[in-house]
Amino acid sequence: MAEVSLHKLNKKFDTTHVVKDVDLQIRDKEFMVFVGPSGCGKTTTLRMIAGLEAVTAGEIRIDDRVVNEVPPMDRDIAMVFQNYALYPHMSVASNLAFGLKMRKFEKAEIEKRINNAASILGIESLLQRKPRQLSGGQRQRVALGRAIVRDPKVFLFDEPLSNLDAQLRVQMRVELKKLHERLAVTSVYVTHDQVEAMTLGDRVVVMKDGLVQQVGEPLELYNTPANRFVAGFIGSPAMNFADVTLIENDGKPVAEAPELRIGIPGELAARARAKIGSKATLGIRPEDIHIATAADAPEYCFEASVEVVEQLGSEILLDMRVGPALMVASVEPTLRVRSHDKLKLALKPERLHLFDAETEAAI
């Protein structure tokens, strides 16, 4: 069993405050992903958990033990790095054995663990090779193997797939997911790639400027982002935003912008009502916009002028102008549409988001 908890965790490099009051409970066997733009503090947080970076303030616990002052070697964690960090002069088998030898494991036990890890990762035939004789994907498997043989309480991953080409990344992503199901070890994974975060994480922590923006299951982040930043960061293509004013029309709240007037449905209307007269940001995902039909209520329809048509095969992305706002819609691949066409579109009312213009928090 291994739970990792961060309590008011802070890191300063001289005067630069890069991790700010991070509170987080990582559950036993959970795969927790930290995601955020470059420089947001995710790697520094991971390195503090690993013991590679001193904690400025706050507490890190692994189970009930505070590990702030415990050296990395004694934390019972194994870390997988982006650059693999393999010893070039050693064979794969020796690379796998190294950490265990340092810890004075018996030879027979080392052999057993190497064979087990090699079989899990399908690298049995590579054990006598040197790292330079391996492909990028194989090297990454060896790096994973080195963590697996340790049989640690916690795995820490620092962007382990970012040196691989796009196709291999997808393949290794699936392998990592299977590996986690099989080993069921608490894992903390850092990436700047939101697709990786969404597909791998049981839960995802979104960070920006050293602050946790939201923690949740992938679909929770996608469906109910806590603020505009999370809304724009999670999901591809990104959510569309338009600056609007919340007004009242026939007793109902409406989001209004030049050439855009959208009704606000259900519970969102109740919350928007308290903010009539103020500025807000309307958010709608490209996949929640479609070509309007007679079935669409007029208050959820708007007109757009198509600027660019992106044919992706499985869908068409329309880059459109709606008044001063630019929006993207993902529509059926069979649609015949050309740039400069004027279209009537509709959005799914239940998928509409509003954010406070000042705080950027979800309304």
Binding residues for ligand ATP, per CB under 6 A? 13, 16, 18, 36, 38-44, 192
Please report the DSSP string for 294-341 in residue order. TTS-GGGEEEEEEEEEEE-SS-EEEEEEETTEEEEEEE-TT----TT-
Q: Which is nearer to ligand ATP, 16 or 167 (CB)?
A: 16
**Least separation, in Å, of the C-beta of 43 and ligand ATP?**
3
**Least separation, in Å, of the C-beta of 303 and ligand ATP?**
40
**Least separation, in Å, of the C-beta of 42 and ligand ATP?**
4
**Least separation, in Å, of the C-beta of 234 and ligand ATP?**
16
Q: Which helix (H) or strand (E) holds 107?
A: helix 107-121
Amino acid at site 42: K
Q: Which is nearer to ligand ATP, 164 or 352 (CB)?
A: 164
**Least separation, in Å, of the C-beta of 12 and ligand ATP?**
9
Backbone angles phi, psi at 130, to 5 degrees: -95, 155
**Least separation, in Å, of the C-beta of 348 and ligand ATP?**
33
Residue nearest to ligand ATP (CB): 43
Backbone angles phi, psi at 238, to 5 degrees: -65, 160
Q: Which is nearer to ligand ATP, 200 or 325 (CB)?
A: 200
**Least separation, in Å, of the C-beta of 13 and ligand ATP?**
3
Contact present, 117 and 96 (Cβ < 8 Å): yes
Q: Which is nearer to ligand ATP, 18 or 118 (CB)?
A: 18
Amino acid at site 274: A
Q: Which is nearer to ligand ATP, 54 or 174 (CB)?
A: 54
Radius of gyration of the chain (CA): 25
Which phi-psi region, left, alpha or beta, contains residue 268 (left: φ > 0; alpha: ψ -120 to 50)?
alpha
Q: Say which residues have a Cβ less than 8 Å from residue 234's Cβ, sequence separation at least 6.
A: 194, 197, 198, 204, 206, 218, 221, 222, 225
Q: Which is nearer to ligand ATP, 13 or 87 (CB)?
A: 13
Backbone angles phi, psi at 76, to 5 degrees: 60, 45
**Least separation, in Å, of the C-beta of 205 and ligand ATP?**
11
Q: Say which residues have a Cβ less than 8 Å from residue 242's Cβ, sequence separation at least 6.
A: 255, 257, 260, 281, 282, 322, 323, 325, 327
Which phi-psi region, left, alpha or beta, contains residue 15 (left: φ > 0; alpha: ψ -120 to 50)?
alpha
Q: Which is nearer to ligand ATP, 20 or 192 (CB)?
A: 192
Q: Which is nearer to ligand ATP, 201 or 286 (CB)?
A: 201
Contact present, 248 and 254 (Cβ < 8 Å): yes
